[in-house]
Amino acid sequence: MDRFTVMKSFVAVVRRESFAGAARDLGISRALVSRHIADLEKQVGVRLVNRTTRSINLTEPGKKYLEFAQRILTEIAHEDAAMVAMRENAEGELSVVSPKWIGSLDLGDAVAAFAAEHPKIHVRLELGGLSERTYNFIDEGYDIAFHTKHLRDSSIMIKKIAPLQFVLCAAPAYLEARGLPTTPLDLANHDTLIHVNDPVWHFTRGGKKVIFKSHRVVFSSNTYLVLQKASIRNMGIALLPVRSVYQDIQTGTLLRVLPDYAVPQRPLYAAYAPSRQLVRKVRVFVDFIAEWFKDHPMLDK
């Protein structure tokens, strides 16, 4: 018999001074309450209750065990209440992990805005070290992980935060020296800056798709921020996130290349552990970040 169940029955019998009264409070039969007390006494190896037809009295061991049982049940009730509060109230620790290139964009601004608006939620945002296996972030102690690849893992929950648009661009000095390409095929005559995880560029125009793989890669990196710096230094043409180069394009530090050709978007997802009753701090965070991106679109039009 479950120890906590028989403890409850024992405390209820003492409180009501009646097996029948305890049974009514607990919503079980009197016979089951009697069995619980008998099982408990068997477990502890001493008699806890002296029963007569008119009264119920605790033995000396029964008095000591009552103090223990009440303390344990009270602690359990308090812990249960704390868990409910954690689920229903937006407060506590929140651990978030993101690939470096995403976190180094204005996602960091979004998370900082959230932290300022929800001071009772203490956010820890870590960049990099994200496993390719989408669910590993849970095993590693994170509540939420940001991803840009399509996730089909049924063991985690997914919310699409925003589309991430990309733009082909280069520094004005590079284009002045090497010429402005007018079609994706012209890129074969240009130096390119390539992300190691994105070596093939895809273009669409008028319903026609063009795939380009550069054979003149002069610089590569696993982070778009480094490629952005290289492109500003006139090293070549790069495919970069709009959210990263938005200001550079606005100021003319970088110029768009092949603006008439569309390049694929990438979805920004927030992944988190599945739950029938989602912890409120997670829900509040994910909804806030999605709304922040809606309010700060920076769309490439």
Per-residue model confidence as pLDDT tens digits over 181-210: 999 999 999 999 999 888 999 999 988 999
Radius of gyration, alpha carbons of the chain: 31
Rounded distance between C-alpha atoms, residue 213 and residue 198, angstroms: 10
Left if phi > 0, otherwise alpha if psi is -120 to 50, otherwise beta: which for 17? Answer: left
H/E stretch holding 248 reads helix 242-251
Distance of CA 118 to the CA centre of its chain: 16
- pTM here is 0.63
And the tokens for 166?
Answer: 């990309």
Q: What is the pLDDT of residue 122?
A: 92
Looking at 68, 88, 108, the residue that finishes a domain is 88
Instruction: Name the domain count of the chain.
Output: 3
Q: What are phi and psi of 43, to 5 degrees?
A: -65, -45
What residue has token string 């070290």? 129
CATH number, position 145: 3.40.190.10
Would you state the torsion angle of the CA atoms of residues 233, 235, 239, 241, taken in this order, to the nearest 10 degrees?
-10
Residue 152 belongs to domain spanning:
92-163+266-295
> Strand runs (DSSP E) across the chain, as ranges?
49-51, 56-58, 92-98, 121-127, 144-147, 157-164, 166-170, 192-195, 200-205, 208-213, 217-221, 237-241, 255-256, 266-272
Residue 231 lies in a domain: yes
| pLDDT the model gives residue 300 | 46
pLDDT reported for residue 22: 86
Which residue, of 63, 88, 113, is where some domain finishes? 88
Q: How far apart are CA 107 and CA 115, in angstroms?
A: 12
Give the Cα separation of 144 and 272 in Å (integer). 5
For residue 283, give every residue at least 6 positions away whose Cβ sits within 8 Å of its Cβ, in sequence order, or none: none
Specify the amino acid at residue 86.
Answer: M
| CA separation for the pair 215, 72 (Å, rounded) | 70
247 Cβ contact partners less than 8 Å away, ≥ 6 residues apart: 253
* Integer Cα distance of 195 and 263 in angstroms: 15
Say which CATH number the domain at 44 has: 1.10.10.10
In a domain, 300, yes or no: no
74-83, 99-108, 126-135: which has the minimum mean pLDDT? 126-135
Residue 136 lies in a domain: yes
pLDDT of residue 90: 65
CA-based max dimension of the chain? 105
**Residues 224, 185 within the same domain:** yes
Residue 239 lies in a domain: yes
- In this predicted model, what pLDDT tens digit does every residue of 122-153 receive, in sequence order? 999 988 766 555 557 887 888 999 988 776 66
